[in-house]
Structure 1
Amino acid sequence: MRASDADRERVAERLRDAVAEGRLDMEEFEERLEAAYTSRTYAELEPLTQDLPSPRASAPAASSASWQSRIGGPAGASSTGPSPTASASAVAIMSGFERKGRWTVPAQFNAVAFWGGGELDLREADFAAREVVITCVAIMGGIEITVPPGVEVDVRGIGVMGGFDQGRSLENRPEPGAPRVIVNGLAFWGGVAVKVKEPKRPKGNGKKLHGGETRKEL
């Protein structure tokens, strides 16, 4: 029987869980994921997860619940309060734009930088959907995207006398339940940089003393 898109996505989800649990390395994961999305029948899909435990036998990771609280826009915000909704686009023409802190990443976001630059920081953001697509157009400009560890990132952009720089930092394992970020678009005489960084830690409440020393308040 021919497989549907939903069947392929279920297999892909099991593969993502398996790589997050350490059952598959990144090379095996990428090979099986590509095979899953190109499979046409159940006979082609079945061997991809035959040596993996069934979904019921695999205990959900603790991080899955934390990601669920951040997916679905403001309704999925944490107890610290809902994140403000943001527009679905950002444009910098001989200027700059910035999206960081608590904001909601829409399912489709467009970013344009022409003779300018932009920064999209997703480390503290909520996500309107399980999968979001960020389309970047950088013409003689640059766009930087920062995602937290555990998020699956798929960079598909095209560079013409420019480039989409994924960096070695993207070699992180996606966590169960984490959102998937697809970055596509065009960089012409410009660049789009995608990197993974830990969320910022809150600054301490220390006071500076003479000589540059810092004293923490107790």
Structure 2
Amino acid sequence: MTDEAPDLRASDADRERVAEVLRDALAEGRLDMQEFDERLEAAYKARTYGELAPLTRDLPAGAATPAVSLRKDVAPDSGWRGRIVGGDGSSSWAVAILSGFQRKGTWTMPKRFNCFAFWGGGEIDLREADFADGEVEINCVAIMGGVQVIVPPGVEVVVRGIGIMGGFDHREDGVAGEPGAPRVIVTGLAFWGGVGVERKPTRAQLARLKEQRRQERLQRRAERRELRASRRDERRERHASRRDERREDREHRREGWA
């Protein structure tokens, strides 16, 4: 994380990079479990670089974490600013002939990516990727094969491919993107094959959802424990009240006999 722009909004990829540094630190014994849990929770709750930076400042990997490049044409308050990095992509083409290919994890999507699948299949996963430009194009040619394009929430998708005895998935076409989010254009040809486009949450979002569900389960358990404790207290109070009543009855009877 960079200290030069602490007020800039952090992206899901930024939070996940910090989480990876923390996991490595836990595995190496630099953090105990309590510190790891506290820092990980703070990382997923962080909204700016300034909130992320202190979490890894005292860790070797954290000090070496590179600062991301920033495009000036993206809104300053955009959560996507740190993921549009400019420059060249990590990979600009892929071929699958009677085989398969994958582009996933942390990589840089170029301005144009070309892929070809013949009796094979490929997967292009942009959920953890950075983008070389605010508008990128994926050109897919699938002949008796298939290509699956996975985009994160918030990205605008435009599908312009043609299917001949095959098909392009247009379900995500035209969905408005978040401010400052990249635009992904999917073009090409599917002949006796298919090109699918689907939107899936990122690892950071899945981790947050998992943590949210865990917290909800813990909250429900705590509420059940409180309810059981309250019922036990009520039963004890009723038993105590009955004992007092019986004691008073016995005292009244003794006084009457006296």
Q: Is the structural similarity TM-score above 0.5? A: yes
Q: Corresponding residue for 2:149?
A: 145
Call closer, same or farther: CA 1:73–1:104 in 2, change over 3 Å: farther
For residues 137-185 of structure 1, the C-alpha deviation after alignment (integer angstroms, 9 at most, x for no partner) is 0000000001011111000000000000122x55643111000000000
Instruction: Report the secondary structure of 1:69's partner residue.
Output: helix
Matched, 1:120 2:124: yes
Task: Output the amino acid matched with 1:189.
Answer: W
Structure 2: where are the runs of 5+ without partners?
1-74, 211-258
CA RMSD of aligned residues (A): 2.3
Q: CA deviation at 1:197?
A: 1.1
Q: Corresponding residue for 1:165?
A: 169
Call closer, same or farther: CA 1:109–1:97 in 2, change over 3 Å: same
Q: CA deviation at 1:108?
A: 0.6
Q: Corresponding residue for 1:189?
A: 192
Q: Corresponding residue for 2:247?
A: none
**Count, aligned residues:** 134
Identical aligned pairs, as a percentage? 62
Provide the rounded CA distance (Å) in 1 between the counterparts of 2:109 and 2:207. 22
Greater relative contact order (Cα < 8 A, sep 6+)? 1
The structure carrying a bigger strand percent of its residues is 1
Provide the rounded CA distance (Å) in 2 between the counterparts of 1:193 and 1:120. 10
> Is residue 73–residue 129 contact of structure 1 (8 Å, CA) maintained in 2?
yes
Q: CA deviation at 1:68?
A: 1.1
The structure carrying a bigger helix percent of its residues is 2
Matched, 1:96 2:100: yes
Provide the rounded CA distance (Å) in 1 between the counterparts of 2:90 and 2:154. 23
Q: Corresponding residue for 2:70?
A: none
- TM normalised by structure 1 equals 0.57
Q: Corresponding residue for 1:86?
A: 90
Provide the rounded CA distance (Å) in 1 between the counterparts of 2:175 and 2:167. 21
Q: Superposition pairs for residues 1-218 of structure 1, below 5 Å? A: 62=77, 64=78, 66-73=79-86, 85-167=89-171, 172-200=175-203, 201-202=206-207
Structure 1: where are the runs of 5+ without partners?
1-59, 76-84, 205-218
Provide the rounded CA distance (Å) in 2 between the counterparts of 1:103 and 1:117. 20
Q: CA deviation at 1:73?
A: 4.4
